[in-house]
Amino acid sequence: MRARWRALWLALWLARLGPGALGGCGDAGRCCPGRDPACSARGWRLDRVYGTCFCDQACRRAGDCCFDYDRACPGRPCIVGEWSPWSGCSDQCRPGTRVRRRPVRQEPLNGGAACPALEERAGCLEYRTRRGQDCGGAFAPAFITTSAFNKERTRQVASPQWSAHTQEAGYCMEFKTESLTHHCARENRPLTRWMQYLREGFTVCVNCQPPAMNSASLRCSGDGLDSDGNQILHWQAIGNPRCQGTWKKVRRVDQCSCPAVHSFIFI
């Protein structure tokens, strides 16, 4: 805002010098993308120095734009489209990744806002082989992800044995986190940032729902339901295989009651 007022004051003051005294990008008809040292004009700069001034995008950072750069070369922000649907999981019967992308509708110009991320990846796990065989019971550790992912999945993905009319409520397991690797705290990607909230000594809630729930046993692999409470159980975060650790079963409940940042789901 201050820069705009300064530019306006400079323009009004210099206008008294008569036509042609200002020069600048408008008079030169110059306006260039990126960094272009040749994209210059003769006129007043915003720092009140008369001489060579520039009309390329890099002039904002260098501080040597012509006084009328904002008017002659208005910024145009990046505009992106909607996210595509999530792709399928990259692997079957073992942790993999899924991806979604969004297109650029308008490229940024003249210092306009840059494009946000155009691709996102997230961990995933398929419960059926390419031949359609159920492999959901083969997982030894508990694979977990943020409870927010529960909105993304449908039980039909897991097994055709799940009826669309089946209303299995599932259950919730509470665990006390005993240990975890330092890789969890270093995770900062948008879709895996939830790993930062895993802490030793904290109680976490993990929901077991279709499609992670086995259609025959109505159990989630690695839930530790049969453990005696002192048994060390292993878990791994989907999306970063190096984020893993151990926990002990506290109890099974029908509904999870942990805060959102400490609520997860079996996947």
Task: Inform me whether the pLDDT recorded for 13 exceeds 90.
Answer: no
| Amino acid 164: pLDDT | 47
Its pTM stands at 0.57
Buried b (16+ CB within 10 A) or exposed e, 14-31: beeeeeeebbbbbebebb
CA distances from 129 to 89, 154, 230 (A): 11, 17, 34
User: Which residue, chain included where needed, has tokens 């791994």?
Assistant: 236
Residue with tokens 């508990």: 142
What pLDDT does residue 159 have? 46
Q: Could you tell me which residue, 216 or 58, shows the higher pLDDT?
A: 58
Q: Which residue has the higher pLDDT, 54 or 96?
A: 54
**pLDDT value of position 152:** 59
What was the pLDDT predicted at 158?
43
Is 73 within 8 Å of 110 (Cβ atoms)? yes
Q: What is the pLDDT of residue 171?
A: 92
Per-residue pLDDT at 252: 92
Alpha-helical regions (H) of the chain: 2-15, 25-28, 59-62, 69-72
Categorize the per-residue pLDDT at 165 as very low, low, confident or very high, splitting at 50, 70 and 90: very low
Q: Is 101 exposed, middle or buried (0-12, 13-18, 19+ CB in 10 A)?
A: middle
Pairing of strands 203-208, 263-266: parallel
d(CA 47, CA 95): 57
Sign of the alpha-carbon torsion through 131, 137, 142, 147: positive
Question: For 7-16, 51-60, 69-78, 184-193, which range has the lowest pLDDT when averaged over its residues?
Answer: 7-16
**Is a pLDDT exceeding 80 seen at residue 94?**
no
Q: How far apart are CA 257 and CA 267, in angstroms?
A: 19
Angle ∠(239,243,249) on CA atoms, nearest 5: 110
Tell me which of 105 and 9 has the higher pLDDT. Answer: 105
C-alpha separations of 176 from 111, 151, 155, 170, 231 in Å:
50, 25, 28, 20, 11
Report how far residue 213's alpha carbon sits from residue 134's, in angstroms, rounded to the nearest whole number.
12
Distances (CA, A) of 52 to 64, 71, 81, 129: 8, 18, 39, 67
